[in-house]
Structure 1
Amino acid sequence: MKFIRLLKKKLKKYFLLIKRFFYKDFFIPFKGIRKNDILVFDDIFPHPISGFRLEEFKVLLNVFKKSKIVIDPTAYSIIKTPIKHHQIHIKEFEIQSGLIKKINLKKGFVNVNTKLFYCVFLHNISINLKWLEKFEIPFVFTLYPGGGFKINEDISDQKLEKVLTSPMFRKVIVTQKITYEYLLEKKLCKKENIEFIFGCVVPQISLSKDLTDKKTYLINKTTFDICFCAAKYTSKGEDKGYDIFIEFAKTIVNRYDFINFHIIGGFNEEDIDVSELKEKVKFYGYQNFDSLSSIFQKMDVLISPNKAFMLGKGAFDGFPLGTVVEAALNGVCVLITDELKQNNAFVPNVDLILIDSDIDSIVKNIINLIENPQKLYLISQNGKEKFIQVYSNETQMKPRIAILLNEIVETTK
């Protein structure tokens, strides 16, 4: 009887394996003959909504000739994009970048023979850790805020400890001062294994925007246009401060009849009642990276009143958000919160305006800009110049490439 039970168990296992093979919903990594210098992994690339991934991974795939990227597009469902669009996005990326046959799906038998593995976000390195250790593949990853990383949260700490104590771990790139200090304070990682590069990678086309047709209050238009731009993770967007933004809009809409409000991202008129704003508010939904520029060039101000720890214990956003960066590069004056004191590059009231995530703070600063338009113009210009400096590939990608190159060299010694 025991033999029969074991036989049935084995047969069931093989049946499931065969079934998965025909449905192609499995992943079997193996070390093939062909060896890459670097293998990149991601869960949303090359979705056009994620501009920083498009730029960073495109640069890496160009710099490292023996390279490829493996994709498991699980994040498509999170941003409500039909999975059938993934193949369309791959074709578009290949045509635009000229990088052909560099993308592999994390399905079926995948050759993972590489000198170095790289990805961004904690959850992406965590789900690949088992086979990286099995095949003894060294790895480097970028620990951005989000993506499973939370401060003083048990599950996050357990994942971090497991990753950072792996025999295959080499370096972690951090982009926020709070992340750097947290890893050291919790003794999760040695200082020599942490590389701090403030900010994130930005599509370089954003740094050379033609702002000839930029619309600006009292220069070539009579309206004062305020926008909010964020993904939706909660019903009322409390983490991004959407609820605060709408209350602010209701507070000030009757004071100035030339103000308009623009909502970009995952929110619509059903999330919070906006009937008081009437024709003064417009919703755009999620926008591809390329579409944001044409919208931002009609805006005067972007408000980002995001709050830390609203998505759960220890959850926080990086400073500034990617949408803030894109807005500033399009000549928009940005008003943003910095509860966790993460600002490491910008001068308040010179390059941008720091606000509290409350209505009074936002109202006060908006009135100041409306009644002092020269301040609006000056901060917009200063901000654009500083953001170009901070987010150039010279500042962002050059040190990243150096880190990866050094680790590849170390693996061949």
Structure 2
Amino acid sequence: MTGIFKRKVKSLLFKQKNFWQHFPSNYIFKRKHSLVILDDIYPLPLSAFRFVEFNYYLSAYPTAAVYTTGSSFQYLKVFDTVDNVLANHVKGYPEHSVRVFEFSEYRKINADLIYLTFLHNTHHFLPTIEANSIPFVFTLYPGGGFMMNNKEVENQLRNIFSSPFFRKVIVTQKITLDYLVENNFCSPAAIELIYGVVMPNDNFSLGKTKKHRANRENKNLNICFVANKYMPLGIDKGYDTFIALAKKISLNYSDIHFHVVGTFDENDIDVTGYNNITFYGPRETSFFAQFYSEMDIIVSPNVPFKLADGAFDGFPTGGCIEAGIMGVALFCSDSLGQNLYFEHKKDIVIIENEVNNIYDHVEYYYHNPDQLEQLAEEGLNKIESLYSTEAQMAPRIEIINQAMKSSRNKVD
């Protein structure tokens, strides 16, 4: 009987590969994390801004850790297990081997502070936060379940902001700040506006050394669309408009080519017979350096309130900023007037979600390549001033440090 018991214990401890993930080092040795990040996509590099931001925290705080559910992998067309995704990540980041874990609701979390991004994550993890009595800070990005003037979302926000463990919310768009203040969701003192998202810093140098169209062996004008599909036809992202644009341009210009990166494919909208459109599927961050080196324009004709009432994207989208960093000219819609810093036709082209409007802009810059090159360079300079690691991470680190200090002082 004793032998059977020992064999069963051995099987539980050593054959069940997830077992020890319920007991990370801070739990076994009763150590406390400075910061714990709770998420649903990390460590997938397909979400570039999140990947860069979380990696920065892991570097800045030696005792920080990330717990991930992997519940949103499927939306990026990744159907692997969390175990395999974590194992692949650790191959490239061995220093994360005891710092990134699969989340379990049964795990006790011991930390000075919890950090999250997006509404859906914060609302989902709120019971865990409160069960562990840990203060939290979160970033309320556009998307991720956040919709303005939506009763269900309003209830979620009020639950979050009324939590005794809420400390700060970071917003990245002024429209979000105004919405929170005007509707009395929380004190203005608890809101911090940090415009934009975190982007890979190394890519700025790539944009500055980019060969533009006149100097490339292939002289085609390359126009790209980078987004994932969340609704039929991708109307919220303007995918339908982009394909209509490609079809119209192909009637007059054989040397203008179109490129689609993300979870769209040729089956979403019929493109039979149009050989100037290439689909790449969803891609990791490492793909884009070479890709954007050959792109001239990124078109983002996104439309608010289409995915759902009150749903909207940030301006410019993260995909556009990543392209702009690498010297691609930005053609972006802004029907909500979120733009604070960019100048039309100097460092960006503000487009309408309308084929003829975008067609006219593309045609103009097609015939004026020097102006297109200048537009891309000015856009890169503006993005660098707003989205460098220092500009984005320094205020975030300050907010987190203050929240952790307050947490420690209360314990003391």
SS at match of 1:111: coil
Q: Given the two structures, how large is their TM-score scaled by the length of structure 2? A: 0.89
Deviation (angstroms), 1:99: 3.0
Aligned equivalents of 1:353, 1:391: Cα separation in 2: 19
Q: Which residue of 2 aligns with 1:318?
A: 314
Aligned equivalents of 1:185, 1:362: Cα separation in 2: 35
Contact 2:246–2:277 (CA<8 Å) still a contact in 1? no
Q: Which residue of 2 aligns with 1:11?
A: none
Percent of pairs identical after alignment? 35
1:264-299: CA deviation from partner (whole Å, max 9, x where unpaired): 11111111111242x211111111111022111111
Deviation (angstroms), 1:180: 0.3
Q: 2:233 aligns with which of 229, 233, 236?
A: 236
Contact 2:263–2:282 (CA<8 Å) still a contact in 1? yes
Q: Does 1:333 align with 2:358?
A: no
1:45-84 equivalences under 5 Å are: 45-84=42-81
Aligned equivalents of 2:266, 2:222: Cα separation in 1: 18
Contact 1:332–1:380 (CA<8 Å) still a contact in 2? yes
Q: Does 1:142 align with 2:139?
A: yes
Q: 1:102 aligns with which of 95, 99, 104?
A: 99
Q: Which range moves more in the overlay, 57-66 or 108-117? A: 108-117
1:304-345: CA deviation from partner (whole Å, max 9, x where unpaired): 101101111111111111110111111111100011111122
Deviation (angstroms), 1:92: 2.9
Q: Which residue of 2 aligns with 1:412?
A: 408
1:389-408: CA deviation from partner (whole Å, max 9, x where unpaired): 21111110000000000011
Q: Which residue of 2 aligns with 1:8?
A: none
Counterpart residue type for residue 124 of structure 2: I
Aligned equivalents of 1:51, 1:82: Cα separation in 2: 18
Q: 1:96 to 1:65 in 2, by over 3 A?
A: closer
SS at match of 2:234: coil
1:18-57 equivalences under 5 Å are: 32=27, 33-57=30-54
Deviation (angstroms), 1:41: 0.7
Q: 1:265 aligns with which of 262, 265, 271?
A: 262
Aligned equivalents of 1:47, 1:195: Cα separation in 2: 27
Deviation (angstroms), 1:39: 0.9
Q: Does 1:174 align with 2:171?
A: yes
Aligned equivalents of 2:87, 2:347: Cα separation in 1: 37
Aligned equivalents of 1:101, 1:307: Cα separation in 2: 42
Q: Which residue of 1 aligns with 2:304?
A: 308
Aligned equivalents of 1:55, 1:305: Cα separation in 2: 26
Counterpart residue type for residue 223 of structure 1: N
Counterpart residue type for residue 372 of structure 2: L
Q: Which residue of 1 aligns with 2:383?
A: 387
Deviation (angstroms), 1:222: 2.3
Q: Which residue of 1 aligns with 2:224?
A: 227
1:348-382: CA deviation from partner (whole Å, max 9, x where unpaired): 21111100000111011001101111210100111
Aligned equivalents of 1:316, 1:69: Cα separation in 2: 28
Q: Which residue of 2 aligns with 1:403?
A: 399
SS at match of 2:96: coil
Q: Which range moves more in the overlay, 79-88 or 193-202? A: 79-88
Aligned equivalents of 2:210, 2:226: Cα separation in 1: 21
Aligned equivalents of 1:90, 1:193: Cα separation in 2: 38
Q: Which range moves more in the overlay, 259-268 or 160-169? A: 259-268
Contact 2:44–2:85 (CA<8 Å) still a contact in 1? no
Q: Does 1:156 align with 2:158?
A: no
Deviation (angstroms), 1:107: 2.5
Q: Does 1:126 align with 2:123?
A: yes
Aligned equivalents of 1:52, 1:97: Cα separation in 2: 21
Q: 1:347 to 1:151 in 2, by over 3 A?
A: same
Q: Which residue of 1 aligns with 2:7?
A: none
Aligned equivalents of 1:130, 1:109: Cα separation in 2: 12
Aligned equivalents of 2:207, 2:121: Cα separation in 1: 36
Where does structure 2 lack aligned partners over 5 or more consecutive residues? 1-11
| Superposed structure 1 runs of 4+ greater than 4 Å apart | 22-25, 27-32, 210-213, 217-220
Aligned equivalents of 2:192, 2:83: Cα separation in 1: 32
SS at match of 1:239: helix
Counterpart residue type for residue 205 of structure 1: D
Aligned equivalents of 1:156, 1:109: Cα separation in 2: 27
Aligned equivalents of 1:180, 1:308: Cα separation in 2: 17
Deviation (angstroms), 1:93: 4.5
SS at match of 1:275: coil
Contact 1:29–1:112 (CA<8 Å) still a contact in 2? no
Aligned residues: 391
